[in-house]
Chains A and B, each alone.
Chain A
Amino acid sequence: MTQHAETNTAGALAPSSGLRGLVADWSSDVQAFQVPWGKAMMWIFLLSDTFIFGSFLTGYMTVRMSTTVPWPNPSEVFALTIGGTEIPLILIAIMTFILISSSGTMAMAVNFAYRRDRVKTTALMLATAAFGATFVGMQAFEWTKLIIEGVRPWGNPMGAAQFGSCFFMITGFHGLHVTVGVIYLSIVALRVLRGRYERTGNYHIVEIAGLYWHFVDLVWVFIFALFYLW
């Protein structure tokens, strides 16, 4: 990366922007993506993950469209009774706000990492991980509740049999991503605190971890809209 950056400044031409820059980046005999390799790799991994979740959601929509039995109403299935009144979808709404907040703290963590404020970065990353852990905890609660009510991957008392398999597969895969993210963020946060990146000054690691975390939030936006609200 350093070498590449040097060639850029050494060359007479500064990298142009816009479409001209796109053509120059892709057609010249140079590194195409002018970002640290880790960041480019994370983006490409996230792209492949987009296809995984895209296929899951498309598959879910296909079975939902093709079933002749009415689909269980998510608004009622995921309702909680709080203080005697039944509030539709409230648990999912809270989970959504928690995940958005975690994305907010993560974005701030990246910002403080580039300012080399190690304590604030670590604190914000650990807060993000804590929000993530809370999210997984609430998901475990939700799974337990549904399993007690008799929802299984092969059937359920509320309606179309495909509901269970779609629910467990999509939210399970997303929950797995959140869990992995919590571990990933905790490791990076502790390394920041110990000053591991201070020696090289390479705080891109935090931004790359952030990309993964924002992606987890991004996937939830689609699951929330297409599975829970639809």
Chain B
Amino acid sequence: MEHAQTQQHPISVYFTVWGLLFVLSTLSYLVDYLHLHGYLRWSLILVFMLMKAGLIVAVFMHMRWERLALMYAILTPPLCLLVLITLMAIEGDYTFITRGLFFGQ
């Protein structure tokens, strides 16, 4: 067991990520506080969200030190959700337009 690698990394790595997560959270809060709107707001929210998610998975959950076999098995299946998101975005738009036609005006 001893040589099967354990996840032992310098504490400073965790502090750095901790700090970065605080900064990114503050930035995403500021997006709301400063009343940004439209595509700027949405893209900033998504960018900060993905950066935070990446830091948590890569460092706190030690994914960047795992072997590719585990990385691919865990990180690629969620991409299926992109298909669901696309389909539901089309569906959502369709429902909105249909509702506008029938209930609107």
State the majority secondary structure of interface residues on A: helix
- The answer to whether B56 touches A218 (Cβ under 8 A) is yes
Q: CB within 8 A of B29: which of A46, A54, A93, A211?
A: A93
Q: Are B60 and A103 in contact (CB under 8 A)?
A: yes
Q: A33-B70, A100-B18, A221-B53 in contact; A114/B8 too (CB < 8 A)?
A: yes
> Across the interface, do B6 and A114 meet the contact criterion of CB distance under 8 Å?
yes
The residue on B at minimum CB distance from A48 is B77
Contact across chains for A68 and B48 when beta carbons are under 8 A apart: no
How many residues of chain B have a CB within 8 Å of chain A? 58
Q: Give min CB distance, B28 to chain A, whole Å.
A: 6
CB–CB B61/A211 < 8 A: yes
Q: Which of A1, A68, A104 contacts B96 (CB 8 A)?
A: A68
A residues less than 8 Å from B40 (CB atoms): none
Residues of A within 8 A of B1 (CB): 1-2, 5, 201-202
A: number of interface residues (CB 8 Å): 72
Binding site for A on B (CB under 8 A): 1, 3-4, 6-9, 11, 14-15, 17-18, 21-22, 25, 28-29, 31-33, 41-42, 45-46, 48-49, 52-53, 56-57, 59-62, 66-70, 72-74, 77-78, 81, 84-85, 88-89, 91-93, 95-96, 99-100, 103-104
- The stretch of A21-29, A179-187, A190-198 in contact with B is A21-29
Pick the interface stretch among A55-63, A130-138, A139-147, A164-172.
Answer: A55-63
User: Considering only CB atoms, which chain A residue lies closest to B68 in the complex?
Assistant: A22
